[in-house]
Amino acid sequence: MLDLLKFLLRQIVDDPEAIEIKQSTDETGTQIFMVTVAPEDMGKVIGKGGKIISAIRELVKVKAIKSNQRVKVTLTEPTQTDSPSPQLSTESPEETS
């Protein structure tokens, strides 16, 4: 299933080298695939109304059912390490009289 997921994602994104897939298994035996792609490819993977990611999930699910397994595919936000996160000010604005 991991190979199928990688293949599908590589066909969609512009930067296939940025694809990261972390695999884990929960207590019920369900395989969880956490997918991260480049920020500029997020829209392509999600698709209009979430149709692309839904189709990817369905295809992986079909293969899992044939193998008598359970899977879950989640798309995670890419982390931005090159730009600092904006700081929110907790100070109240000074009043002028």
CATH assignment of the domain containing 18 = 3.30.300.20
In this prediction, residues 62-91 reach a mean pLDDT of 75
Residue 77 class from Cβ within 10 Å (0-12 exposed, 13-18 middle, 19+ buried)? exposed
Q: Is residue 88 part of a domain?
A: no
Query: For residues 36, 19, 11 and 73, what is the CA-based torsion angle, rounded to 10 degrees?
Result: -40
| pTM of structure | 0.77
Q: Is residue 96 part of a domain?
A: no
Identify the band that residue 77 occupies on the pLDDT scale cut at 50, 70 and 90: confident
Q: Domain span at residue 12?
A: 2-75
Q: What is the pLDDT of residues 9-59, one digit of tens each?
A: 999 999 999 999 999 999 999 999 999 999 999 999 999 999 999 999 999
Q: Is residue 83 part of a domain?
A: no
Q: Is residue 49 part of a domain?
A: yes
The predicted structure's pLDDT at residue 78:
76
DSSP state of 6: H
The predicted structure's pLDDT at residue 70:
95
